[in-house]
Amino acid sequence: MKQQKQAITAKISSRGFPLWLLLILPSFLIIALTASLTGYIGFISGRKAVNDLVARVRDETTTHIEEHVRNFLQTPHEINQLNAAALKQGWLKTADAEALQSHFLEQVKINDNITSVYFGSPNGDIIGSGREGGEGAYYVYSTDELSAFNKYIVAENGEVLSFAASIPNFDTRTRPWYINAVQKATPTWSDVYILFTGQDMALSASLPVYDDGQKLLGVVSVDIFLSQIQEFLTNLEISASGQSFIMERSGLLIATSTGERPIQQGSKGLERLHVSQIQNPVVKNAMRFLETHLEEKDILLRREKFEFEFEQETYFLDIAPIRDQYGIDWIMVVIIPESDFMMDVRKANQISALIIILCLAGSIYISVLIAQKIASRISHLNDAAQSLTTDSEETTELNGSRIHEINEVTLSFADMRQQLRQALNELRTEVQERKQAEANLETANIELLKAFEREQTLARTDGMTGLHNYRSFFDLATREFRAALRYHHSLTILMLDVDHFKKINDSFGHAAGDQLLAQVAQILALQIRAVDILARYGGDEFIILLPQTSAQQAFPLAERIRTSIENLQINLEEAKASTTLSIGISEIQKRPMDDENIEQIIKRADQALYIAKQRGRNHTALFPSQE
């Protein structure tokens, strides 16, 4: 090894040039010259085009935002006026909650800008419809005779799909939107508020409704989520890095294009974000500039244009008030950097592009020549490296280079080659041994998994009938019991007992009795639904759980099962036999006291079974309190 290294060293000269110097120096000189010329030409022609273009974009952007927001805010009041007229003229009846919900739901579906339409009555009730977010599910809500607010998820046609939520002791008359509308007796806006879920900020447009005698019929109201304004500002293409935001005169944020939420977690819970708390540095600096004008009420009552400097760059600032006759008094701000609008520099860019192309062509030509030299040496090392993966003992001769770094790599490679070849041979042996060990382990794991699955099946299945055993039934029944409690569904237990089973064992033998039980189990399995749970409870008893089924609904099924067994001739090994079933039925308790566990229902079903046997067997009995 030492002799080989000495021979290689004799062929490689220690003299050479650094690789980075050969690659970087020519390119650096060319690119520096190109950038200087391009920057000089672009600077002269670029500044002139910016002012005209920015002025045009500022006006268009500000007007576009203002029109969108005004239209967005006008829609709720138009809907309120339509609903108020319909209620006053009797087209809609305040007593017909279903018709109101259907009417409101159609308005929600037609108008993407609104999230909820509702009516509050003077006695504290509410009726309304809405949608969950922009593309969410539709829902309806109302108060019941106990003043509980109940919300239901519905389909587009108004069909109730599921129960969503309930709020006790709900009184519309304590809500700000109702109080504000009644006190002012005119169309009005509520204050901006944060939803109790914290997912958004909302605004309510309210209108009191009076009959011809000026008697208050109630208040119609429409909710809008301010995230829709935020989404509009975020998607609005102002410029490459232009920003916009809308705030109240107090500085509290309504919406912003920066993507920051206008809600934050404060010391007292969820709080609205002040514009000065926005993290975007450009907006922060614009707000500092704007604060000097916030107290100048005459300026903030009309559209104004300003300019300010930030980090040696000029920014254009547009301020415009957004006000309406219902109480909205917001301020809109648009910020556009001058650097985004160098659109009139195309002619200079064409000249610059030509210069860059020529410079790059020269740079590429020089780089190619250098790369060819380097590539030939690297290819030589690559051939030597590939020889390490073969079993051949032949080695590629290593030659020196005038490049210093390649010389160093060649020396290191020669020293490592022998060690790597030895390591590769050892690694091949180890890999083969590990593959064999992994194959053996995989075979053992497969066998172990099969054995485990067999044990799991035996542990949860009755061996004679193939039905669930008591342990498996109890686990499944407990799960269905919890679901019934959570969703207020019905749930019924059937307890079934083979009448005079001991006589069959005594007359025909235990093997015949087992055969009879197996045939009874098959008949029971054919009578029930796929969602029902059938199990052998023990001995000659079976048990069936019927989800979402009341005791009255289960009674016909129990009778069909009892009749099927009564009319059945069972073929035993040496004779024919018949039998009957006694069946007890018990349903989950709903009021006044809920069941605490599934065992209570099973216990009542067992008591009902005892009643069926007292009646002479071959009977079906409901638990007394459920008859």
**For 325-371, what is each residue's pLDDT tens digit?**
888 989 888 888 887 766 555 565 667 667 767 766 666 667 666 65
- Which pLDDT value is given to residue 398? 61
Do residues 262 and 226 touch, judged by C-beta distance below 8 A? yes
CB under 8 Å to 196, separation ≥6 — which residues? Answer: none
Record the tokens describing residue 154, joined without a space. Answer: 């519905």
pTM beyond 0.75: no
For the chain, which domains are there? 1-17+369-458 (no CATH), 72-223 (3.30.450.20), 229-341 (3.30.450.20), 470-626 (3.30.70.270)
pLDDT in tens, 489-531: 999 999 999 998 888 887 787 888 888 888 899 999 999 999 9
Do residues 289 and 310 touch, judged by C-beta distance below 8 A? no
Angstrom distance (rounded) from CA 543 to CA 470: 9
pLDDT in tens, 554-605: 999 999 999 999 888 777 666 677 889 999 999 998 665 578 899 999 999 9
- Which pLDDT value is given to residue 586? 94
- Which pLDDT value is given to residue 196? 64
Average pLDDT along the chain, 627 residues, taken 10 residues at a time: 49 54 63 66 61 75 87 91 91 89 91 90 93 80 89 90 90 91 91 77 92 91 88 84 86 86 83 84 81 60 79 83 88 84 60 70 66 64 63 59 66 69 73 79 72 61 86 92 91 94 82 85 92 91 94 94 87 76 90 77 94 93 79
**Phi/psi of residue 228, nearest 5 degrees:** -70, -35
Count, residues in the chain: 627
The helix (run of H) or strand (run of E) holding residue 83 is: helix 19-88
pLDDT in tens, 290-302: 777 655 555 566 7
- Which pLDDT value is given to residue 360? 61
DSSP string, 278-309: ---HHHHHHHHHHHTTTT-TTGGGS-EEEEEE
Do residues 222 and 204 touch, judged by C-beta distance below 8 A? yes
Residue with tokens 């120096």: 25
Strands 620-622 and 581-587, how do they pair? parallel
- Which pLDDT value is given to residue 561? 94
Handedness of CA 424, 429, 432, 433 (dihedral sign): negative
